[in-house]
Amino acid sequence: MTMPLDALEAEVLSLPAQQRSHLLDRLINSLEADPEIQNAWAAEAERRDAELEQGEATALSGQSALARLRGLQ
C-alpha cells in the first residue's frame, strides 16, 4: 500500500534533524543526474577556484554575499 504524499511528508518532518538530513542525502543521491551537467558544474567550480587562487576574484562570506544581493552593502 502506498502512503499518500502529505502523510509521508508529515512523517518525515517528524523525524529528528539528523535523520532528515540523512534521508535528504539519500534522496538526492537517488536522482539520476545528467553527466554532461555534472561535468559542466565541475568545470565551472574549477574555473572559479583558479580565479581565487590567481587573485582574479575575491571570496565573500555567505553573510556578505547575501547582504550585497539584498542591496545592503
pLDDT score for 1: 66
pLDDT at residue 57 in the model: 94
DSSP the chain: -PPPHHHHHHHHHTS-HHHHHHHHHHHHHHS---HHHHHHHHHHHHHHHHHHHTTSS----HHHHHHHHTT--
- Report if pTM > 0.75: no
pLDDT at residue 3, as a whole number? 84
pLDDT, residue 72, reads: 76
| Ranges of the chain whose pLDDT falls below 70 | 1, 73
